[in-house]
A and B are shown apart, each in its own frame.
With several copies, the nearest count.
Chain A
Amino acid sequence: MSKDVAIIGVGQSAFVRSYQGSIRELAFEAFREAMQDAGISTGDIDASIICSAPEYDNQRSPSGIIAEYLGLNPQPTFAVESVCSSSTTGIRVGYSMIKSGLHDLVLILGFQKMSEISSADSQERMGRGADIMWEAPFGTMMPAYYAMHAQAHFASYGSTEKDLALIRVKASKYGILNEKAVYRKEVKLEDALNAGMVASPLKRFDCCANADGASCIIMASQARAKEMAKKPVWVLGLGSATASMTLTGRDALNGLTCARVAAEKAYAMAGVTPRDIDVAEVHDCFTIAELMAYENLGFAGPGQGAELIRAGETYIGGKIPVNVDGGLLSKGHPIGATGGSQVRTIVQQLRGEAGAIQVPNAAIGLVHNIGGVGVYGNVIILGR
């Protein structure tokens, strides 16, 4: 467990339905918070990495315009993308650039203004999210793919719609406490179970909402972190993996291979096991995604994830508190910003600065961030 690269600053804008400003102004909100958190100025930043799903922007190559607005010229900047996991990919790249010695301080800015394009345009892009040659021509969308995973999980393991609803109930409980979340109302079990069907067996409350938002993470080399940060949070493990984009290339749909492989790599690098994790943020774009994450991350054995939520073990006070900031289900899912928001929550937990949602004595935390429907998987293990 080496402590070579640390996170020294975190920031996030409010996640909102429709941000009333430009993407550069949205990015600035997360940037300012992270810079003030780290206590540094723009001249300290050696490079920036901008993370987003570019099909939502009218601006081509937004990394250039955002780096300019943040005052980060002439330092290098570029964009990275792995759809919904773009900002944890950015963090993986930032880690590499620091560990390799190219840079000492790297800023990772994730953003998405999903409302930048019209709703019709958005519906059009959704249709192009899967393999456009072999799957999109049948009329596919993200909820449908996750629904097929849910159906397969139910068939393999006997999990139920109620298990999924229980996950949403937990998300809403914590979402109420998160002032940066887009959805802050209680969802009762019966509300979740009685909601309209989107793609069977997923109903309205099984799905997270689109949102506009930005997140910002500042990473530093060991030397700079020790010099600058009161409470550095160290990158202990990083794992990344993929699965074929087309479902035809996958072994089974009752879990996500990319998450399982990424987790194995992250645990091995950190030298820890699932039992060592005190608090986790998992990618719950749909309730079924959280259920599969329990198993793919080793918090439960294959098919035993439902028992965790039934027993309340993923609440604060349980064996492994998961998504105690409300998750994507409550916060909303501004694609490029999501992973950075998850990392921010874990950093605050490990610093003991999480307020009402603090998991007592959290020392090791985990982030699980998935791009596409199990196409890209990033797992990050952080420690204080």
Chain B
Amino acid sequence: MMGFEKFGHKSFTSQTKVNAFVAALESNELKGTKCISCGNTYFPPRADCCGCLGSDMVWINIEGPGNLLSYTRVNYAPTGFEKDVPYTLALADFNGTKVFGRLSSAIAKEETMVVMSLKAAVVNLPDGQITYEFIKA
């Protein structure tokens, strides 16, 4: 086990060179990476830069507020997520960096709308998993 299996409501893979992403979440921070050589920034974080072929990366913070780009409230779920339905998946923009995740269930269906202002919040799940969600900014 490498640590990455702790990320998400359900994990599908445990090994990655960017598993420090999980440690950052544990410190309440949502992080991407930035290439030291060429300055490209990445979210989701990457260990390698396809711009310059370099692999020297530093961690950077993804900070809010952001805007909701699109969303969907799902009534069906794949195996392992059945107990969560309904939940809302969303794509948000944080100053040009897009982030995919769930919208907090505290945001009412009626007030959910494209361009609404959001921020990311770390969520510790009861089973020990860790993730993030979007809450009202």
Measured CB to CB, the residues of A under 8 A from B are 19-22, 25, 28, 32, 35-36, 42, 58-59, 69-72, 116, 120, 123-124, 126-128, 131-141, 143-144, 147-152, 155, 196-202, 246-250, 253
Q: Given the known A-B contacts A28-B48, A151-B72, A247-B100, are A141 and B16 also in contact in the complex, defined by CB atoms under 8 Å?
A: no
Contact check: which of B9, B51, B91, B97 meets A253 at CB < 8 Å? Answer: B91
Contacts A25-B47, A32-B53 given: A137-B11 contact, CB under 8 Å?
yes
B-side residues, CB < 8 A to A, are: 2, 4, 7-13, 15-17, 43-44, 46-48, 50-51, 53, 55, 69-81, 84, 87, 89-91, 97-102, 114-115, 131
List of B residues within 8 angstroms of A25 by Cβ: 16-17, 47-48
Other contacts beyond A138-B9, A138-B102, A248-B44: 8, CB < 8 A: A21-B16, A32-B53, A58-B13, A127-B10, A151-B71, A151-B114, A201-B72, A202-B72
- Closest residue of chain A to B77, judged by CB? A139
Q: Is the CB of B114 within 8 A of A141?
A: no
Which of A58, A141, A148 makes the CB contact (< 8 A) with B76? Answer: A141
Question: Are B78 and A127 in contact, CB atoms less than 8 angstroms apart?
Answer: yes
Are A148's CB and B89's CB within 8 A?
yes
Q: List the B side residues contacting A248 at CB < 8 Å.
A: 43-44, 91, 97-100
Which residues in A have their C-beta under 8 angstroms from that of B46?
69
Also in contact, A199 and B70, with CB within 8 A (given A20-B2, A69-B48): no
In the docked arrangement, what's the CA distance between A20 and B99, Å? 26
Evaluate whether A247 and B91 lie within 8 angstroms (CB atoms) in the complex, with A22-B15, A155-B114 already known.
yes
Closest residue of B by beta carbon distance from A70: B50
- By CB atoms of chain A within 10 A, which of B44, B84, B87, B99 has the most? B44
